[in-house]
């Protein structure tokens, strides 16, 4: 068999469309040219649409993690007390980054598999009597496949005069996001997930409330100093050499997404999420997310059934059936869950393949499962969706 044909169902990088791959062989241009400025402006404008914001959107050559640092060093007073909302490994990592950067980190930690609750944050902030300057939260916690109610959390942060900074690395392009309407002060994402691009770009936007803090945000910075990106923005320029090839890719991907239309993009992701969850449950497996209303539409975390070796399962899925799933993240979850990515350049057909692979791999390993149940349940979800159209 053609064993190099592999379907990527990881949590990112995700598959990229041929149009995006083709865009990357566009010949190199002078990044100080009008041609580049036009691309940069077009990309920024399409990103504004995606984020539903009037604010400027900056694109930096760095990975998603740099969003944590960039948000903090530009908009939060140096050394301030801040709150990290933690519902999984990425929440932990952001809190760690904030401690390294010299902030006084408080945290609200939730059991993995659950989402944060705005009421708890409200109570916590009230008790702190205005001393918390920023609330840091993931929109989608990739390690657990659970998303947080950002609109509600943002409202609470604003009520207590704290900035709300949102990591939308594994949500933007897959889950609805409304920066201005929700009152989000800073949001950032990465190129390699629902935006259907290779890794390497971090995208960030901030509103006036965030910029008003810039003077007091004196944590040392150089490459991540957004004020210099802001200075060059109107010219369609970046202060440092931009990742021109990745700009070509991002422009091609955003063009495809804008042709699909935001509403349709989110509907497609929701359909894929519903299909995946229905399939997993129908096969007798268990979702990791404890409350399905917060189950992510960009990836699904599934409990490894008793008696199955997690590594052997993933190895079988890849070596025998040609599908890559993501392992659980961090020591605690490595052997207890696996994750099925379904964001970006994916369609409902990809979900059928992923579910068939889950069943095939478990059956192949001798686990008592009836192949066909998961795919059949997912097909029913798909057909019911089509009938409603
Ligand atoms: N935040 C979230 C929610 C993520 O899923 C990831 C990566 O998967 C990151 C941050 C870090 O991004 P990167 O690995 O691109 O640095």
Question: What tens-digit pLDDT sequence spans the chain (389 residues)?
Answer: 666 789 999 999 999 999 999 999 999 999 999 999 999 999 999 999 999 999 999 999 999 999 999 999 999 999 999 999 999 999 999 999 999 999 999 999 999 999 999 999 999 999 999 999 999 999 999 999 999 999 999 999 999 999 999 999 999 999 999 999 999 999 999 999 999 999 999 999 999 999 999 999 999 999 999 999 999 999 999 999 999 999 999 999 999 999 999 999 999 999 999 999 999 999 999 999 999 999 999 999 999 999 999 999 999 999 999 999 999 998 889 999 999 999 999 999 999 999 999 999 999 999 999 999 999 999 999 999 999 99
Specify the residue with its C-alpha closest to ligand 1, atom 2. Answer: 169
Whole-number Å distance, alpha carbon 46 to ligand 1 midpoint, is: 22
- In 104-225, where do the E strands start and end? 104-109, 132-138, 140-141, 146-147, 163-167, 186-190, 201-206
Whole-number Å distance, alpha carbon 67 to ligand 1 midpoint, is: 9
Whole-model pTM?
0.98
Give the largest CA-CA distance in the chain.
64
Spatial strand order of the sheet with 132-138 comes to: 57-61, 201-206, 186-190, 163-167, 132-138, 81-86, 104-109
What letter does residue 103 receive in the DSSP assignment?
-
142 C-beta closer than 6 A to ligand 1: yes
Structure-block tokens of residue 167: 């990591």
What letter does residue 148 receive in the DSSP assignment?
-
63 C-beta closer than 6 A to ligand 1: yes
Whole-number Å distance, alpha carbon 16 to ligand 1 midpoint, is: 17
65 C-beta closer than 6 A to ligand 1: yes
- Give the number of the atom of ligand 1 that is nearest the alpha carbon of residue 140: 3
170 C-beta closer than 6 A to ligand 1: yes
Q: Could you check whether the bond before residue 188 is cis, i.e. omega within 30 degrees of 0?
A: no
Whole-number Å distance, alpha carbon 217 to ligand 1 midpoint, is: 24
- Give the number of the atom of ligand 1 that is nearest the alpha carbon of residue 168: 3
């Amino acid at each position: 068999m053609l064993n190099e044909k592999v379907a990527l169902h990881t949590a990112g990088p995700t598959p990229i469309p041929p149009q995006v791959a083709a865009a990357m062989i566009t010949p190199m241009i002078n990044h100080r040219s009008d041609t580049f400025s036009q691309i940069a402006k077009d990309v920024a404008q399409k990103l504004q649409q995606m984020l539903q914001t009037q604010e400027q959107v900056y694109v930096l050559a760095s990975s998603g993690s740099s969003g944590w640092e960039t948000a903090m060093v530009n908009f939060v007073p140096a050394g301030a007390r801040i709150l990290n909302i933690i519902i999984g490994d990425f929440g932990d990592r952001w809190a760690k980054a904030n401690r390294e950067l010299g902030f006084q980190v408080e945290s609200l930690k939730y059991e993995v598999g659950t989402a944060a609750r705005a009421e708890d944050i409200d109570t916590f902030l009230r008790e702190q009597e205005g001393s918390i300057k920023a609330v840091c939260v993931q929109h989608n916690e990739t390690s657990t496949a659970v998303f947080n109610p950002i609109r509600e959390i943002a409202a609470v942060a604003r009520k207590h005069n704290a900035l709300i900074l949102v990591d939308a690395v594994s949500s933007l392009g897959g889950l609805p996001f409304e920066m201005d309407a929700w009152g989000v002060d800073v949001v950032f994402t990465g190129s390699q997930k629902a935006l259907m691009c290779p890794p390497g770009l971090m995208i960030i936007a901030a509103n006036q409330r965030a910029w008003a803090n810039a003077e007091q945000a004196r944590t040392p910075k150089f490459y991540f100093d957004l004020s210099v990106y802001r200075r060059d923005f109107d010219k369609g320029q970046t202060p440092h050499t931009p990742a021109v090839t990745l700009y070509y890719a991002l422009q091609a991907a955003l063009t495809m997404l804008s042709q699909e239309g935001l509403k349709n993009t989110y509907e497609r992701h929701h359909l894929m999420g519903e299909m995946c969850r229905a399939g997993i449950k129908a096969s007798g497996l268990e979702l990791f997310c404890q409350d399905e209303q917060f189950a992510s539409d960009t990836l699904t975390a599934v409990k490894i059934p008793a008696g199955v070796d997690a590594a052997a399962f993933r190895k079988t899925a890849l070596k025998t059936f040609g599908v890559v799933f993501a392992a659980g993240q961090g020591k605690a979850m490595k052997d207890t869950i696996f994750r099925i990515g379904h964001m970006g350049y994916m369609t409902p057909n990809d979900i059928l393949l992923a579910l068939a692979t889950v069943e095939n791999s478990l059956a192949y390993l001798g686990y008592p499962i009836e192949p066909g149940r998961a795919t059949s349940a997912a097909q029913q979800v798909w057909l019911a969706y089509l009938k409603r159209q």
